[in-house]
Amino acid sequence: MSLNPTERVNTIRELNENFQLLDWPVEKVAEALQTSPKHLEDVLQLKTAFIEEPWILKNFLEKQLLVEGKKPVAFSKLTGDPSQYWFLNQSRIEAGRLAK
């Protein structure tokens, strides 16, 4: 899934808005996703090791926000079921961990 420049800016904004809404320290989210704070910050800017990482972060943020009774900010491009995208590694997404 390739994003044009506008879609990229919007996706970065949406990830960051959800991250801010969750209001957890970077270290806590990084630990939950079994990664480093630096790598988590990279994923928030779409500087990823794997194309599945924005989906992993999106799923985590949405789940935690719902647990806390908060409404996640909607995503404009990271939508639908990622298993419907043939180019995504579904097992990586299901593992729910970011690269280190």
Q: List per-residue pLDDT tens for the chain, 100 residues long.
A: 689 999 999 999 999 999 999 999 999 999 999 999 999 999 999 999 899 999 999 999 999 999 999 999 999 999 999 989 999 999 999 999 999 8
* CA-to-CA dists, residue 21 to 3, 11, 93, angstroms: 24, 15, 22
- Compute the distance between CA of residue 74 and CA of residue 15 in angstroms, rounded to an integer: 9
**Residue in the block written with tokens 């044009």:** 4
Q: Which alpha helices (H) appear in the chain, and where do they start and end?
A: 5-22, 26-32, 37-44, 53-67, 90-95
- Show me where the domains of the chain are located: 5-95
